[in-house]
Structure 1
Amino acid sequence: MSLARLVDVHTHVYLPRYAALLRSRTTLPRIITSSREGKPDDRLFILDRDTGRPVGSQYWDRDEKLKFMDRHGIDMSVVSSANPWLDFLPASEAQTLATQLNEDLEQYCADSPSLSPSLKRLYGFGLLPLVPEISTAALLEAIEQISKLSHLKGIIMGTRGLGKGLDSEDLDPVWAALEKSGLVVFLHPHYGVDVEAWGEKDNGHVLPLALGFPFETTIATTRLILAGVFDRFPSLRLLLAHSGGALPQLSSRLASCIEHDPVVASRLKHDARWYLGKLYFDAVAYGPEELGFVSDVISRSQRYEAGGSVPTNTAVDRALGSRRMLFGTDHPFFPPLQPTEKWKSVVENLQAIDAVTGWGQVEKDGVRGANALSLFNLV
């Protein structure tokens, strides 16, 4: 019987080279260093209306990442550079920095402790210089670079692409290369929705992050579906942050709207709900009911492959959907406000996995780690 592993697929780092860049900037995104009680005090500013958040070694020090993992019993992490990645840079600078940061992340992972003779404790998602004016050749070179770095198993991608969104046909060569490479694409938000939607009342970061980020992912993924990206590139492996945002909840409404809209009604090969079964979802949802629902939506997707009238009274095998769900922590963001040995957010996500009705031990172990080991070809 194989050993059950706990694998964190949603965990971030600002590599030292990247943090140094943020410290050198005078506009967002930036790190501002001041003095507090005679010691340097770094604060990170990345969003509009941002009041900044304190940052320290846990954001860039590998030993701090490993200490966090040890404290929470995490065997392995697939680390990704945190937003806003390279989105704010001109093309030439983004290309150079992507190459350097991918090499940095490879070293960060390669020098980590071993979990077994064939496994390291750290693997990573590389970066593409996805900015306006970048050449297709430069993007394909970055994908080739990442494919050759043995500890990088995918890429992390924001929602703006080359500035027109991820549904732009300009990205088709990128999707084709990513599909051929087998690299996993981790789709992660940064921009949220229009800040005016949150009103004038100070609610901290709750509305932009709890709602704005998942809504951004929902819209970006829907645009990919509507653009036929998953029809043209059926083997593309896309992992959605924050359990896919609101897409699982709204997928039937989406399918109905498509069917009744002459602009898109005949555009796709399948009912919109079918495509959710082609995606992967992190399990950063904090509640068993939410995880169970996402699992149900994934499981039912196979009903919609053939099209036509679909019976809705057939029981859904919730265990089937669990195979495309993976544990994550979102470290180092959102630490506890009060000193505590373990982070409540991490404990809640683990408890949620354990409490999903209809998942047996095999499914729970899958979400905790076995699914990630399979997805990233680490078994």
Structure 2
Amino acid sequence: MAVTGDIHAGIVDVHAHWLPRELFALPPGGSLAGMNERDGELFLGDLPLSFPAAAMSDVGRLVADTARAGLGVRAISAPPFAFPVHAPAEADDYVASYNERLAEAVASADGALVGLGLVRLDDVDAARREMTRLAAAERVAGVAVPPLVGGRSYGEGVMREVLGVAAELDLAVLVHPTQSPRPEWKDHYLANLIGNPVETTTAVASMLLSGVMETLPDLRICFVHGGGCAPSLLGRWEHGWRTRAEVGRGSSRPPAESFSLLYFDTVTHDPEVLRLLRARASRDRILCGSDYPFDMAQPDPARFPVDNGIDAATLEANGRAFLGLGSRS
């Protein structure tokens, strides 16, 4: 169902993060220490996150920062280290608590915020129960999910089935990487600088080459950070699809056709990369994003795409379409 309730006019930022303080401990089973506040700053264990704790947890601060950024609406979702992927069967209480607090937060924001909730990706029945509750919440538009879980993505199995539930319930899906560590990325913040776009790229390839969008044409799914490396690899995937049987056996149409059905945000940090995304993606599938409040956020999320060829009216219309907000009268 479409989101109900009055929503502000203006550019829609689909990629911003929020977590209430009572859930800073994070879901069970993960290797990361919980979040904590020290002298007003937020830490992940002993790692400084380089922004105030209030920017992550305080709804009033978030709403004020949204207005200061020249945005009409922000869609808020949990930071990726709060995804329930390590011990999902033990995380039901955490997921339910987050989604309840999220519904309360967006309801209190007077139309400035829309929510994207948490969901398990290991059990279709559990996912359906939680997503059905999310679909009934007034200003909750969908779910935020990781691109990979246990070396798998959305081309098969439970993860693909969860996308089917999202499409059935008319929920938007935002795919956000989790900065998975690898030994070769241990220095220079490479787990983020390289790892995040590679995770996203892998998920996009899984979607295109396994035919997900052929079976779920109404699915509204967005890949953040401009789709990672996917726009620059699309030609390579097209060539492989036409020349190698194992590339093309999962999909009946070339990757570029399905690519045109995916949504992408504008967090590219580079006008040339954004231009490439514009050349590859559909005009009505490019969304404003910020990655607020992280240090890797796009510093001026509304102005960056506008200065690089995407007008504010298009950004607003696209964001509203992705989130199911309906056209502004």
Question: Where on the TM-score scale, by shorter chain, does this alignment land: which range?
Answer: 0.7 to 0.9
* Deviation of the 1:246 alpha carbon: 0.6
Q: Do the aligned partners of residues 148 and 195 (structure 1) sit closer, same or farther apart at CA in structure 2, a change above 3 Å counting? A: same
* Deviation of the 1:40 alpha carbon: 7.0
1:109 aligns with 2:106: yes
* Deviation of the 1:26 alpha carbon: 9.5
Give the residue type in structure 2 aligned to 1:370: A
Q: Highest CA radius of gyration, 1 or 2?
A: 1
Once the two structures are superposed, residues 211-235 of structure 1 have per-residue CA deviations (whole angstroms, 9 ceiling, x without a partner) of: 2101110011101222221222121
Alignment TM-score, normalising by the size of structure 1: 0.76
1:353 aligns with 2:300: no
Partner of 2:293: 332
Distance, in Å, in 2 between the alignment partners of 1:26 and 1:268 is: 35
From 145, 152, 158, give the equivalent of 2:146: 158
Q: Do the aligned partners of residues 268 and 85 (structure 1) sit closer, same or farther apart at CA in structure 2, a change above 3 Å counting? A: same
From 5, 14, 30, give the equivalent of 1:9: 14
Partner of 2:205: 222
Partner of 2:258: 275
1:18 aligns with 2:23: yes
Partner of 2:3: none
Which range is displaced more, 101-110 or 267-276?
A: 267-276
Unaligned runs of 5+ in 1: 114-119, 299-320, 336-342
Distance, in Å, in 1 between the alignment partners of 2:253 and 2:27 is: 48
What's the secondary structure of 1:278's corresponding residue?
coil
Distance, in Å, in 2 between the alignment partners of 1:236 and 1:346 is: 30
Partner of 1:338: none
* Deviation of the 1:241 alpha carbon: 0.4
What's the secondary structure of 2:213's corresponding residue?
helix
Equivalent residues in 2 for 1:51-200, closer than 5 Å: 51-54=47-50, 55-113=52-110, 120-131=111-122, 135-161=123-149, 164-192=152-180, 195-198=182-185
1:295 aligns with 2:278: yes
Give the residue type in structure 1 aligned to 2:43: R
Partner of 2:43: 43
Give the residue type in structure 1 aligned to 2:109: S
Alignment TM-score, normalising by the size of structure 2: 0.87
Give the residue type in structure 2 aligned to 1:128: V
1:256 aligns with 2:235: no
* Deviation of the 1:155 alpha carbon: 0.6
Partner of 2:4: none
Q: Is the 8 A contact 2:144 2:175 kept in 1?
A: yes
Which range is displaced more, 178-187 or 159-168?
A: 159-168
* Deviation of the 1:52 alpha carbon: 3.7
Give the residue type in structure 1 aligned to 2:279: D
Partner of 1:30: 34
What's the secondary structure of 2:247's corresponding residue?
coil
Q: Is the 8 A contact 1:130 1:162 kept in 2?
A: no
Q: Is the 8 A contact 1:86 1:94 kept in 2?
A: no
Give the residue type in structure 1 aligned to 2:81: P
Distance, in Å, in 2 between the alignment partners of 1:41 and 1:276 is: 40
Q: Do the aligned partners of residues 163 and 248 (structure 1) sit closer, same or farther apart at CA in structure 2, a change above 3 Å counting? A: closer
Q: Is the 8 A contact 2:146 2:178 kept in 1?
A: yes
Q: Do the aligned partners of residues 291 and 177 (structure 1) sit closer, same or farther apart at CA in structure 2, a change above 3 Å counting? A: same
What's the secondary structure of 1:43's corresponding residue?
strand
Give the residue type in structure 1 aligned to 2:217: P
Aligned-residue sequence identity (percent) comes to 23
What's the secondary structure of 1:281's corresponding residue?
strand
Distance, in Å, in 2 between the alignment partners of 1:350 and 1:86 is: 27
What's the secondary structure of 2:141's corresponding residue?
strand
CA RMSD of aligned residues (A): 2.7
